[in-house]
Structure 1
Amino acid sequence: MVNRFKDPSAHLEIADLFAEHDRSSLPIELGVSRRTLFRYRDLYVHLIETDEELMPNLNAARQDPHFQKINERLGHLLDRYDSKWTEMEDSRAEAFYDWVPEHRR
């Protein structure tokens, strides 16, 4: 997912929010196997790795109070990359290349 930082120095606060979130059972319930957060200037990139398609589980999780709390707090720290986006799906980056060394396959 791609967004913009309202304040790029908030990256540590965002990391703390996800550390709190990842201590809950929700990431495992969603099928998350790894989460990596990146920043580049004012861009925020959130890579979520899963073994299955994430979006159906993520859409269902929106009703979870813990998910809502984290999402609300993130809303104070991040802006949509494109103001025309209306759904979380709109912020999803499209993978166009992936490489894994042969010995890791």
Structure 2
Amino acid sequence: MRTLIVARMAPGSGEDVAGIFEEFDRTEMPGLMGTKRRELFSYQGLYFHLQDFEGDGPKSIEQARAHPLFVAVSADLKPHITPFDPDTWRSPADALATSFYHWEAP
């Protein structure tokens, strides 16, 4: 399963955010969450976090929220990444984009 998180990113934070995830991805967390691939994008102040999971991505994210490494990476990202809509954000699930079309070559 694939998830796409959408948020806002502070200008000039790309390298810092990449470094934070580079460290995070060297821990056991990707394996615990079933993360197979991660790719980060930015566009005009927006942040896109594409992640492929072995299983249910949103469920994996929700289950990981209390893990100390997840809590730490979230704190490290706080100066760089903010919710797209702070008024409605309660959890990472509130930042997940909804897929409405998919195509693959036969």
Q: Same fold (TM over 0.5)?
A: yes
Q: Which of 77, 81, 84 in structure 2 is aligned with 1:74? A: 77
Structure with more helix by fraction: 1
Query: Secondary structure at the residue paired with 1:19?
Result: helix
Cα drift, residue 56 of structure 1: 1.9
| Alignment match, 1:50 | 53
Cα distance in 2, alignment partners of residues 29 and 63 from structure 1: 13
Distance in structure 2 (CA, Å) of the matches to 1:2 and 1:75: 14
What letter matches 2:32 in structure 1? E
Displacement of 1:100: 2.5
C-alpha distance in 2, partners of 1:96/1:42?
23
Match in the other structure for 1:96: 100
CA shift at 1:50, angstroms?
A: 1.3
Which structure 2 segments of 5+ residues have no match? none
For these two proteins, the number of residue pairs brought into alignment is 101
Which residues in structure 2 correspond to 1:14-93 (within 5 Å)? 14-84=17-87, 85-93=89-97
Give the partner amino acid of 1:23.
R
One of 3, 6, 9 as aligned partner of 2:12: 9
Partner deviation per Cα, 1:34-87 (whole Å, 9 max, x = no partner): 111000010000011113111222222122111111101111111110122111
Larger Rg: 1
Structure 1 unmatched runs, 5+: none
Helix, strand or coil at the partner of 2:98 = coil
Moved over 4 A (4+): none
